[in-house]
Chains A and B, each alone.
Chain A
């Protein structure tokens, strides 16, 4: 499909990132293969390779799941090990799929894929309905603050395309969702990824349902997915040209994390709390009258103040919480369990700090949503509420308000591995 666009169309497309969550055998790879195949995003050499592999493995039909096959170890074991990224486009949007494995032990990959997603597709096998893993997937989508949820009830062909099956499963999911997504945008679609019903092409087997997955993906409004109210600009890099032409130039480079910035706006700099005014918003293509998320720009200020990476430029009257004591929901991502009173490196926006984990509030059973306070043993793939104290203050918003200024990662200082993803409460 990408190939038929005129250049003008191409310059007006939006970008939508989505993630897919499903248990093993829910048909997730088949669904992605179907989306790519039916949207004509598969090239001949890829198709030939998959045809050859399908025949070799003794499949009766083209095995669409093979389009998403990656590493040799995965082909050998028939599983997906890591997050893989796929791309396709329609005349309205370009899509980035974070294809994450469904195995229980790979929750960390799902969290990774969900962290940048506008939308999540949650797959349910129509034969099994809502199962424990569905709760897990839905909960992670909610924890990671994904604004739009699309529930695909797959393998409808194996349930004779019955409307009552679809209705019952949708109702059951909605019941669980009411507890975790108070005001979320949720869509339900009955599909058969294997046969292509309601994925890209409308199904002729389910006249009782109008719409396709692709239509939903194309129509979801995403222009409000960033926080546009509260001005937040983490300073990423200080630009000093040290040339004759720009002798005294000092620009603060970064990506807008929230709200709007204009020349003339009164701003405050954290942590110094000095107030100043924006002189210009610079880019290579010339100065801008306005900057908003997720633009990468360079700000110049009226006053010559000491600002460095990790500082934050905010509204003069509208600034985030500043504290060293932070409560976060974390997903633990490392085989070495969390150490209470352990010290970790921490990254938040462009700010580096160190921290100590002071307390584990509770570990969450994400199948039942039960909070277990007696258990302070946090292992890989666990979700827990913890308290940390940082060596220097962070400037943050609750994750539910701003996914950029509300997120942290923890790093083991001995191995340098990223061990936890945190959502500030």
Chain B
């Protein structure tokens, strides 16, 4: 490696920090979308670095489906207290109670899709003009075409055919009243980059990323967690397994991995040997070939 060449992780970090500072400079009311998953935890870490020694100059927003892994919520509350940042919670249960959305019924019911309405309502209510998200382009084919600065109209919609060209690092955050931006500072990171960075920076993660015993059941090639609100088919039965989460979302759609990995190094080894993409275990993506594309157009994360 040349003397004046950054390593690829350092270069990705420098790029993400640049994007985060650009958000703070260009927008009046930015917010960071925090799911409790590893990507948003890395985003928070990068935000600390970007504004050091000052505090992170924007709040965190968690869209709470009510169907969470309890470990994620504990982790979230401790992180917020430690960093002294403001946390805003948008509740899907409230959206259901107020009639904004109707809960899905049946075996595959999930609150995943409902989150979009809660997210857009929360953005509008708080007048957020930029929502920083941890989406990566390597995750899914619709995401491969995302910009760093992704414009959303007043309905929160993404128009993939009509995106603004994005050149060099000149990000155009201009918008009309009522419109907002989604900003993705870690667009260029892969799953492996994220894990290597977590290892290199010693970033703390919720315990569900590491192996633990849990009651689970098997459906369509995916292990799902048994929970009171998870409706099971008569043929499905609960089993006790050693598992861990490869991605963390709402319980109803988070596929679990049979695993004994209990350190970051173990996880990296496991991912390196895996032959399935991380979203391959996401039940929400299995609904149709264009599932992510459709949700994104409507305003999903």
Contact = CB atoms under 8 A, between A and B. Distances in A.
A418 B164 contact: yes
A193 B198 CA distance: 36
A15 interface: yes
A221 interface: yes
A222 B5 contact: yes
B293 to A, nearest CB: 6
A224 B277 contact: no
A15 B15 CA distance: 12
B199 A417 contact: no
Given A3-B272, A7-B268, A295-B14, A416 B144 contact: no
Contacts of A108: 165
Interface in B210-256: none
B190 A87 contact: yes
Interface in A394-411: 403-404, 407-409, 411
- Most A Cβ at <10 Å: residue of B18, B138, B289: B18
A51 B247 CA distance: 26
A301 interface: no
A10 B141 CA distance: 25
A296 B50 contact: yes
A82 B9 contact: no
Given A2-B192, A14-B5, A72-B290, 20 more contacts: A2-B272, A11-B196, A15-B8, A44-B276, A46-B277, A71-B145, A82-B163, A84-B145, A89-B190, A115-B168, A222-B5, A224-B2, A224-B4, A236-B18, A239-B52, A249-B53, A255-B169, A285-B49, A296-B17, A296-B50
Contacts of A418: 164-167, 172
A284 interface: yes
Interface in B246-301: 265, 268, 271-277, 280, 289-290, 293
Nearest to B22: A236
Interface stretch (A152-160, A240-248, A355-363): A240-248
Interface in A86-117: 86-87, 89, 93-94, 96, 108-109, 111-112, 115-116
A418 B147 CA distance: 13
A264 interface: no
B50 to A, nearest CB: 7
A223 B4 contact: yes
A3 B195 CA distance: 12
A403 B170 CA distance: 12
B276 A4 contact: no
A116 to B, nearest CB: 6
Contact of B21 (A10, A49, A236): A236
Given A82-B145, A112-B165, A241-B53, A223 B11 contact: no
A207 interface: no
Interface of B: 1-15, 17-18, 21-22, 24-25, 48-55, 137-138, 141-142, 144-145, 160-161, 163-170, 172, 174-176, 187-188, 190, 192-193, 196, 199-200, 265, 268, 271-277, 280, 289-290, 293
A316 interface: no
A333 interface: yes
A254 to B, nearest CB: 8
Q: Which 3 A-B pairs have the closest CB atoms?
A: A223-B2, A3-B272, A15-B8
B268 to A, nearest CB: 7
Interface residues of A, number: 83
25 contacts: A10-B192, A10-B196, A11-B7, A15-B8, A15-B12, A69-B141, A70-B144, A72-B293, A73-B160, A81-B145, A84-B137, A84-B144, A84-B145, A93-B8, A94-B190, A223-B5, A224-B4, A236-B21, A237-B25, A255-B169, A284-B52, A296-B17, A411-B174, A416-B174, A418-B167
A421 B167 contact: yes
Contacts, number: 207
Contact of B52 (A70, A255, A282): A282
Contact of B141 (A70, A96, A251, A284): A70
B168 A404 contact: yes
Contacts of A409: 167-168, 170, 172
A350 interface: yes
A347 interface: yes
A84 B146 CA distance: 8
A116 B15 CA distance: 12
B81 to A, nearest CB: 17
A85 to B, nearest CB: 5
A214 interface: no
Given A296-B21, A404-B168, A408-B170, A44 B272 contact: no
